[in-house]
Structure 1
Amino acid sequence: MTAYTPATPATPATPATPATAPAPQGPAAPGARPAARRSATPYGKLTALVQEAGLMRRRRGTYWTRIAATTVAFGAVAAGTVLLRDSWLVLLPAAALAVVITQFAFLGHDAAHRQIFATHRHNETASHVFAAFVAGLSYGWWMGKHTRHHQAPNQRGVDGDIESGVISFHEEAAASRRGLLRWFTRHQGVFFVPLLAFEGFVLHIESTRSLVTGKRTKRRWVDASLIATHWAIYASSAVLLMGPWKALAFFGVHMAVFGFCMGGAFAPNHVGMPIIPREKKVDYIRRQVLTSRNISGGWFVDLIMGGLNFQVEHHLFPSMPRPNLRRAQPFVRDFCAEHGIPYTETTFIGSYRAIISYLNEMGLAARNNFTCPAVQQLRS
């Protein structure tokens, strides 16, 4: 079932016989195999090219500069909050805080992919600090869901990012909606962008639920301790500085902007790209490339999306440091052209046009209770 046709002249071919995908390392990073065997595969040859170009090497200097700059920005926001605490203009630093926290969350993402430090222990420690202590989100919960996403992006039954109780990302979900949710699904393209304001709340609720239930949560008590400390500092500081009502408004603005920042960075990457049925076998390269969308733009797009605008390159090389993804793009693009694999790239605005159009198309499944079995079989 193809959910969206990439804006390229080529049409995706039927996937070839599946090749053995690299074993996950961190969140689905390519695993180690004997060099001779690895280089004999198309993916191995591409890997050899980017390694020879030095693109898998750590960029510690760049990352330390980024960490320092983000910390300084956090300090500036804290100072602004103190200065404006007696005015409702204090809601401006609340929005700025969300932007800064998002940047820390991106650093946590990079550390989880082992992009920053040489050892797993140092990367994991950094992920706990950036995600749990600074952003207030469980690293263990995120690690589990994000690893499954990298292993099988946009595949039914595996990738939880396309299984939502609110948005219908595929026809089967849309057709199953009933009552008020069915009406919402028919118009979900219109509501999608406003709903991003609630994404911050949803992330924190799901994170907390994972800590309470303990399901698929690595080092649950480490996360729980760091998150409890995060909210204790946050709540006490806000109430003491601004009083309860202004602190509540501050929190609301912070969460809404955080939702826009996080959802706005992740949604363009896969929403509207092909959905892979549960039992469909697709080789590793096509699985990662066909379901991913790159977002073109300069340094500003790189900043607001945390480097995830190079989603194709990130999925092919999850442990590649973020600053190297742009340099890897020509290698990947030429590889895809050589092997006839459609490589999708569009602008930030263009991605949201595609997303809204796709969600509206999925909404059509909620408008008609009858599905012709012959047509459904042909679509599959």
Structure 2
Amino acid sequence: MGKGGRKLENGDSKVIPWSEIETHNNRNDSWVVILGRVYNVTNFMKKHPGGARLLGSYAGQDATDVWTGMHNDKDFVGKFMKPLYIGDAEQRDTIELENDFRELRKHVEDSDLLRVNPMFYILHLVSILAFEVAGYLILSRLGISWFPYITAATCFLISQAQAGWLQHDFGHLSVFNSRRLNHIAHHLIIGHLKGASSHWWNFRHFLHHAKPNIIKIDPDVKTANLFLLGEVMPKLFGTKKRGMMPYQYQHVYFFLLSPLLLPTYFVFENLFFVVKRRDYVDLFFTASFFFKLFSLLGPILGGWGTFWFFMFVRFFESYWFVWCTQMSHIPNEVDFDHAKDWFRLQLDSTCNVNPSWFNDWFSGHLNYQIEHHLFPTMPRHNFGKIAPLVISLAKKHGVKYSCKSLPTAFADILRSLEHSGEIWYNAYYEGLDS
């Protein structure tokens, strides 16, 4: 049978030993295992909607749980997988934790916890549009003196931040049953309401979910030009006398740089992405956002006034976004890929923040970060229903389930950055371990 064949001469499926599967682990030769079946995804990677790097992050590994977690239309996806099938993986004992988590996943599906409550999202979208309209009306009716200006900016800030959480839901295909409708809505929300690229977000964010806090894979921890996270990278950089920043002060300049992420870096990264890929659909929706913004506010604030109003809102939105997203990951383990099982990988790299009406709203339910990472397509209003079972499973297997107050979670960002900076400083200047 040839390398790409599917059957032996007697008609049985080819059984491929794990020792062979694990050698096909690079971009030019990538095999993945899903539900015990081996797929050669080498030539499919660039066509993968989630990006080639996402598939590549599981090359030579079992991708069953990440595939199950991130696809809510498995029959449809399965059609694209059939030509890639090359045989069955050699059976090996699965750990009890994996089996228990897969039982929990089945419970989620059987209990309709993946089913959305349409009214939740309708009201959420209405509130977003209401804040945006209110901001415009305040400026147009009350003028641009300091009080209406600040009040209108606050309305736009709330609208933009909450639209950010809403696009996140559509991006994860957790609102509509139809993949197509989720994609269309995602283009509208992130493009027309936020001025960003849907495909850019997908490639970046799905890779983060596949391997959170994994060095050289998760784009959210590729921050060495500014920050060194965790304990492994600071020690590695310090020992090798690498680093272009005074990382021992990174917990201090984090305050200064975090509000610049959205209005500067992400804007340029978005534009570079869509232009490089010639992604005209995303470019159209992004342009529609700025056309609407300048058409509505230009007659009131003028061209440059509208630009600086936009930057003012984005400045504070960036604070909101950065602290809410990073409180769940920066203080946790940041390490190289050790092919951990899905449950342990997510809990080691993620923490929760105590549920409350305000915390849920303020963070877009990302205070349930653990549940979101375990079940990425679950509608966020159901996270609280599954959390007790996740806690019970973690306790049974001795896996730490971390949940904090909001102030503690924010403070832990700075404590973690300070600790990482000390590790780098000691390794770089004194050759010491922390």
Is 1:72 equivalent to 2:130 in the alignment?
Answer: yes
Q: Alpha carbons of 1:40 and 1:147: their partners in 2 closer, same or farther (altered >3 Å)?
A: closer
Tell me how far apart the structure 2 counterparts of residues 103 and 147 of structure 1 sit (CA, whole Å): 20
CA contact (8 A) 1:271 1:355 kept: yes
Aligned to 1:11: none
Aligned to 2:273: 210
> What amino acid sits opposite 1:210 in the alignment?
F
Map 1:242-253 to 2 at 5 A: 242-253=301-312
CA contact (8 A) 1:189 1:360 kept: yes
Q: Which has the higher strand share?
A: 2
Aligned to 1:341: 399
Shift of 1:326: 1.1
Q: Alpha carbons of 1:28 and 1:158: their partners in 2 closer, same or farther (altered >3 Å)?
A: farther
Is 1:116 equivalent to 2:179 in the alignment?
Answer: no
Tell me how far apart the structure 1 counterparts of residues 319 and 145 of structure 2 sit (CA, whole Å): 24
> What amino acid sits opposite 1:231 in the alignment?
F
Aligned to 1:186, which of 234, 248, 262? 248
Is 1:28 equivalent to 2:70 in the alignment?
Answer: yes
Structure index of larger Rg: 2
Is 1:53 equivalent to 2:128 in the alignment?
Answer: no
Tell me how far apart the structure 2 counterparts of residues 57 and 235 of structure 1 sit (CA, whole Å): 39
Tell me how far apart the structure 1 counterparts of residues 62 and 135 of structure 2 sit (CA, whole Å): 49
Tell me how far apart the structure 2 counterparts of residues 58 and 129 of structure 1 sit (CA, whole Å): 19
Q: Alpha carbons of 1:29 and 1:268: their partners in 2 closer, same or farther (altered >3 Å)?
A: farther
* 1:251-296 Cα shifts (integer Å, max 9, x gaps): 2211111101211221111111001214x12111100111111011
SS of structure 2 residue aligned to 1:182: coil
Tell me how far apart the structure 2 counterparts of residues 82 and 177 of structure 1 sit (CA, whole Å): 56
Q: Which moved more, 1:149-158 or 1:255-264?
A: 255-264
Aligned to 1:136: 195
Aligned to 2:227: 167
SS of structure 2 residue aligned to 1:212: helix
Aligned to 1:269: 328
Moved over 6 A (4+): 176-179
* Structure 2 gap ranges (5+): 1-60, 79-93
SS of structure 1 residue aligned to 2:65: coil
Q: Could you say what the CA RMSD is over the residues aligned between the two structures, in angstroms?
A: 2.8
Tell me how far apart the structure 2 counterparts of residues 269 and 343 of structure 1 sit (CA, whole Å): 12
Aligned to 2:99: 41
> What amino acid sits opposite 1:126 in the alignment?
A
CA contact (8 A) 1:21 1:283 kept: no
SS of structure 2 residue aligned to 1:114: coil
TM (norm. structure 1) is 0.84
Q: Alpha carbons of 1:235 and 1:344: their partners in 2 closer, same or farther (altered >3 Å)?
A: same
Aligned to 1:196: 258
Aligned to 1:152, which of 184, 189, 211? 211
TM (norm. structure 2) is 0.74
Tell me how far apart the structure 1 counterparts of residues 242 and 104 of structure 2 sit (CA, whole Å): 47
Shift of 1:321: 0.4
Map 1:214-363 to 2 at 5 A: 214=277, 220-278=279-337, 280-363=338-421
SS of structure 2 residue aligned to 1:357: helix
Tell me how far apart the structure 2 counterparts of residues 254 and 209 of structure 1 sit (CA, whole Å): 22
Tell me how far apart the structure 2 counterparts of residues 66 and 268 of structure 1 sit (CA, whole Å): 24
Identity across matched positions, percent: 23
> What amino acid sits opposite 1:22 in the alignment?
D
Shift of 1:81: 2.3
CA contact (8 A) 2:226 2:245 kept: no
Shift of 1:324: 0.3
Tell me how far apart the structure 1 counterparts of residues 146 and 241 of structure 2 sit (CA, whole Å): 41
Aligned to 2:141: 83
